[in-house]
Structure 1
């Protein structure tokens, strides 16, 4: 029994290692690309590129339709129905990608300063988003290394091309085209690995399953949409209230901060199958596992935030140069939002396991609403730094304080509080730590 448990534990550890290794490499590559693009494009053009990518990110949520976590759960719970699940989810996402593409291109008719070719090339990436469903399939099979390799190869080639084009002065249009190359290469590799692992496949679309999945995912989708809105609304409001320079400065800082946000998502995606199994077999172990995960997530985020806070000005000047000096103050505040983002990664998986989808909408909706209101007042009083404070506070509301609103989520609020008290305050009395163990 012990040998079996050890083997299973090693399997999950290796699965997590593949995903974390890929993410660390992608983080380094992504940061390098951000620095090069920011330096060579300047605050104004860099801001416009971020606008196009922000719009793409918003519409990617429409394509995913909140199905990613549900796909893992469905495949894990009903492996014999794998072909039907994969077929149904893929067709749903293809339909959504067409709608998203039309919406993105229609923005060209609304704005006066839109670059048609930048929008077009960026929007083309939407048609390859449905293939990301295969990442969920690999996760359900605890074979994340295939998704990791595909991600590394695609990102290495695509981001390398972006940096070469930026240094060569090729301009925004070619950089947008390079972004599509990243998505195409990654999708192609995902398909190749899927064919290697699954020799036989039968297309089996089910309207009944599609309807059931969409109903389950609707609240998750609305919550995810709210999350992206409050993630990007600050840049939109800065554009209208302060202008392009403020957007460029804020984007430079927030990209450094947000680059780390995918790490908790990857870590939780890797252990998600284990959480599902524990929730069905051992409630006490399930709760212990969640507390341990929150401890690790908060400690990682707080350590990161503290280090960046102390070095924010030096980091900005070193990476971006004198033109982005104002981004240092933004980064020193914005980075602390990671503490709430990291812990919320577990909360998001808890929502799926418990099928408490309404909490995704409520908490993310509160975050989006508070971010809009706070940005309006804090930008007016504190400029671009006010937007960073608005982000930090709204993330705290969405990922932490909002859990007090319901009896079902209050235990998670208590767990998060324990993690914060354990790691954020070094002077916690020993008896508090002992009582926590008890």
Structure 2
């Protein structure tokens, strides 16, 4: 296997993310149990704002950089210099606007203080982390991208775990979390400047078509973050906390199939730039097949046995998060189809279409979150999240050329296997233990898909398992 192959890059990203994601999930669960629903609701709102603000240090520059960098005769050092300069400017502007928004929207001094001490250092850390992550994604050395993300995940997870071990109050945990993001950002910059000069040169092409990527990226980033923010306004901090606890599990699990998308992205862009659309469809079909397989594998335990997992991970007092978790597991299934279809539009030069679809879903999503959560609390929020993904799926299918071919070749066998698992759960649900069911149904799903799909079988055995053995 070539070092910079898609599967190789996906493997490195997977290996670099899987352990740290589980550690991050564990730290988030532990801190939720330690803080309680209300304080965890405050922290969740702060983290949601931090994710939103961090995006404004990029505004789609990552996509334009990859687009320009995958063209022939491009100068990567000059592009990286341009990328770095714009990100620093954007981070300073974002900090200023964040302060104005917090002062305008909130009057609770405690909530405002937590927001500030999480938000400002996280913005700076995210701006710096993105420089290293996108550089090594661009040159298709994604084992380095995996290392950067691992360091970032480890530092923030350690900050949260330390807060629980030493019994720190939230006002002490928050700045330590922010500082951890800055340290990860400095590491990212350090491993880039050793190989490329990011302080000299300017190429304005990095700004060409940025607005469309900005709006699209903004909607992608906002969709998972608006939940706790809107639910807090509609139903209060406790419901926001219950929703955030449930949402944390599928959002973290989805990072695992998400690394596959990151590995495919530059190659899809290259094929799109060269107008090799038959090869593009073939590769996009493979991406959808692998991502849907991984996404459903991750969702099965939490879809069917959410109550047991909530009790096991969070404790009995978080039982109200069980129903939202089960509903949100369906969101992961839909996302594993939506992401490849959206990437197909972007990498074929149809970014404006993707942007309009996502903007429509975002606006409708805010209405759904507020309406449903005001009546059903955290459960209503979970229903809103799934409905948003359903809207995206419908629109991407309607505006995707060869969508039926893509979905049939990429998803039919995976969905058939998933249907078998759903049927088995219905037949055994009254007597099977949740832990045995979680493991058993996942194994049945994997075995069945391996029997009927040779491409996924080859992906697992020839690419992943053989590489693990060599390691």
TM range (shorter): 0.7 to 0.9
Change (3 A) 1:394 1:11: closer
Kindly provide the CA deviation profile for residues 204-228 of structure 1, in whole angstroms up to 9, marking residues without a partner as x: 124xx1xx43341211211222233
Q: 1:249 aligned to 242, 248, 262, which one? A: 242
1:421 maps to 412
CA distance in structure 2 between the partners assigned to 1:184 and 1:381 by the alignment: 40
Q: Does 1:379 align with 2:392?
A: no
2:138 maps to 140
CA distance in structure 1 between the partners assigned to 2:260 and 2:210 by the alignment: 22
CA contact (8 A) 1:69 1:352 kept: no
Q: 1:112 aligned to 94, 104, 107, which one? A: 107
CA distance in structure 2 between the partners assigned to 1:35 and 1:51 by the alignment: 16
1:418 deviates by 4.8
1:177 maps to 175
1:29 maps to 23
Change (3 A) 1:23 1:270: same
1:164 deviates by 1.4
1:83 maps to 77
Q: Does 1:213 align with 2:238?
A: no
Kindly provide the CA deviation profile for residues 144-200 of structure 1, in whole angstroms up to 9, marking residues without a partner as x: 2222223323432331132111232212222222222332222222222223333x5
1:420 deviates by 3.9
1:7 maps to 2
Q: Does 1:125 align with 2:122?
A: yes
Q: Does 1:259 align with 2:252?
A: yes
Q: 2:402 aligned to 397, 407, 411, which one? A: 411
CA distance in structure 1 between the partners assigned to 2:259 and 2:294 by the alignment: 14
Q: Does 1:189 align with 2:187?
A: yes
RMSD: 2.4
CA contact (8 A) 1:20 1:263 kept: yes
CA contact (8 A) 2:121 2:179 kept: no
CA contact (8 A) 1:334 1:391 kept: yes
CA distance in structure 2 between the partners assigned to 1:79 and 1:60 by the alignment: 31
CA distance in structure 2 between the partners assigned to 1:403 and 1:144 by the alignment: 28
1:3 maps to none
Q: 1:233 aligned to 219, 226, 229, which one? A: 226
Change (3 A) 1:348 1:182: farther
1:19 deviates by 1.0
CA distance in structure 2 between the partners assigned to 1:292 and 1:273 by the alignment: 15
Unaligned runs of 5+ in 1: 1-5
Q: Does 1:19 align with 2:19?
A: no
Change (3 A) 1:120 1:245: closer
Q: Secondary structure of the residue that 2:350 maps to in structure 1?
A: coil
CA contact (8 A) 2:288 2:411 kept: no
TM-score (norm 1): 0.87
Q: Does 1:307 align with 2:301?
A: yes
CA distance in structure 1 between the partners assigned to 2:375 and 2:159 by the alignment: 41
Kindly provide the CA deviation profile for residues 335-385 of structure 1, in whole angstroms up to 9, marking residues without a partner as x: 111122223332343233222121232121122123223234433443321
CA contact (8 A) 1:75 1:81 kept: yes
Q: Which moved more, 1:276-285 or 1:317-326?
A: 276-285
Q: Aligned pair count? A: 416
CA contact (8 A) 1:302 1:339 kept: yes
- 1:218-367 to structure 2, matched below 5 A, reads 218-279=211-272, 280=274, 282-367=276-361
- 1:41-120 to structure 2, matched below 5 A, reads 41-78=35-72, 80-110=74-104, 111-115=106-110, 116-120=112-116
Kindly provide the CA deviation profile for residues 101-137 of structure 1, in whole angstroms up to 9, marking residues without a partner as x: 1122223422111434422322222123332122111
Stretches of 4+ aligned residues off by more than 4 angstroms: none
Q: Which moved more, 1:35-44 or 1:275-284?
A: 275-284
Change (3 A) 1:170 1:413: farther
Unaligned runs of 5+ in 2: 421-451, 454-471
CA distance in structure 2 between the partners assigned to 1:219 and 1:276 by the alignment: 16
CA contact (8 A) 2:32 2:314 kept: yes
CA distance in structure 2 between the partners assigned to 1:163 and 1:72 by the alignment: 35
Change (3 A) 1:382 1:410: farther
1:158 maps to 156
TM-score (norm 2): 0.82
